[in-house]
Amino acid sequence: MNKFDVTTIPTELIEQIRNAEHLVVLTGAGVSAESGIPTFRDAMTGLWENYRAEELASAGGFRKSPPLVWGWYEWRRNMVLQAKPNPAHEALAKLATKVPRFTLVTQNVDNLHERAGSIDVLHLHGSLHSPRCFACARPYVFDSTIPPEINEEKSIEPPRCSHCGGKIRPGVVWFGELLPEKIFQQAEGAAGKCDVMLVIGTSGLVFPAANIPSIAIHNKAITVQINPTSTDFDSSVTYNLIGKAGEILPAMMELL
Ligand code: APR
């Protein structure tokens, strides 16, 4: 694999971004990798090693053992609260100010884009920070102080809904659940209208999120992949920039 070198960012791409009317970005776990956030499957360590991701990230899993599932998500929430946005998140927050229209769509549940200053982020898979009641769906607000127990890999009894007494569940999209309809429609709509799309740090294996780049490709937008490894998008994007998001995006911003 060639190491990324700033001269590999084509000058015509910089020009195309400068002239873009509507730029859409789709991010995946790779954009948070340099903040030290393990990808979903890499988070199955220690206590969680004994379970399949689908067991912990599903309504069935939650019904079977609410404390096990809640404990796993609390452990992950703690990890992202301790992490910091990296230069890729920061570059994307700046990029939003350089084009007339900007839409940031993410599959990540860590809120690092917001912490880097991005606004109106479309969260296709929800957020670790917006839990709700499993029974009545009312939102639940976390205490601002982080309980020390969430540092540990252990089962934790979920809090109860103050309205109906139901168990609180994580605010993420689980296996077998539909994506939030309105948000997905907004993302599809933006992909169908944009003139430039950046696809950053996603394997493109999880659907329907992985359809978003195809919409832009079909619509003849200029598409750019940023990823150190190869994906199914390699041959269909206009530019395939091989390397880390935290190196390529800041370099791109320097050139803009
Ligand atoms: N910069 C850019 N890309 C990176 C970097 C980096 N520094 N490090 C890793 N990547 C790439 C990997 O090469 C891989 O292609 O990020 C991608 C991560 O792929 P996945 O782990 O499959 O993440 P994602 O595509 O976001 O998965 C989608 O699946 O795990 C579920 O719900 C979860 O939202 C997630 C969804």
Q: Which residue has the tokens 């599809």?
A: 188
DSSP 191-217: HHH-SEEEEES--S-STTTTHHHHHHH
Note whether 101 and 119 are same-domain residues.
yes
Range of the domain at 160: 38-82+132-169
- Which amino acid residue places its CA nearest to atom 30 of ligand 1? 40
Same structural domain for residues 62 and 186? no
Q: Which residues are catalytic?
A: 125
**Which of the listed residues 106, 203, 211, 229 should we mutate to test ligand 1's pocket, taking the one with most ligand atoms within 8 A of CB?**
203
Low-confidence ranges of the chain (pLDDT < 50): 1-2
Cα–Cα distance, 49 to 144 (Å, whole number)? 29
pLDDT, residue 143, reads: 83
Residues 154 and 233 in one domain: no
- At 4 the pLDDT is 57
- Following CA atoms 216, 113, 140, 50 in sequence, which dihedral angle do they give, to the nearest 10 degrees? 90
- The per-residue pLDDT for 2 is 47
203 Cα nearest atom in ligand 1: 15
The predicted structure's pLDDT at residue 43: 66
Q: Are 78 and 89 found together in one domain?
A: no
- The rounded Å distance from CA 83 to ligand 1 centre is 17
**Do 205 and 254 share a structural domain?**
yes
Q: Which atom, in ligand 1's list, is nearest to the CA of 204?
A: 25
Q: Which of 143, 169, 195 is the last residue of a domain?
A: 169
On whether both 20 and 48 belong to a single domain, the answer is: no
| pLDDT at site 5 | 65
Nearest CA to ligand 1 atom 13: 229
Which tokens sit at 175? 């296996």
In DSSP terms, 123 is beta-bridged to: 106
Backbone phi, then psi, for 36, in 5-degree steps?
85, 15
Specify whether the CB–CB gap between 135 and 166 falls below 8 A.
yes
Residue type, 191: A
- Shared-domain flag, residues 146 and 198: no
Chain centroid offset of residue 200 CA: 10
Taking only the tens place, the pLDDT of each residue in 172-186 is: 999 999 999 999 999
Question: Residue 132's Cα: distance from chain center in Å?
Answer: 19
In a domain, 174, yes or no: no
pLDDT value at residue 50: 82
Percent of the chain with pLDDT over 90: 82
Check which CATH number belongs to the domain holding 59 and give it: 3.30.1600.10
Largest CA-CA distance found in the chain, in angstroms, rounded: 59
- CA end-to-end span of the chain: 26
User: ω into residue 139 within 30 of 0, thus cis?
Assistant: no
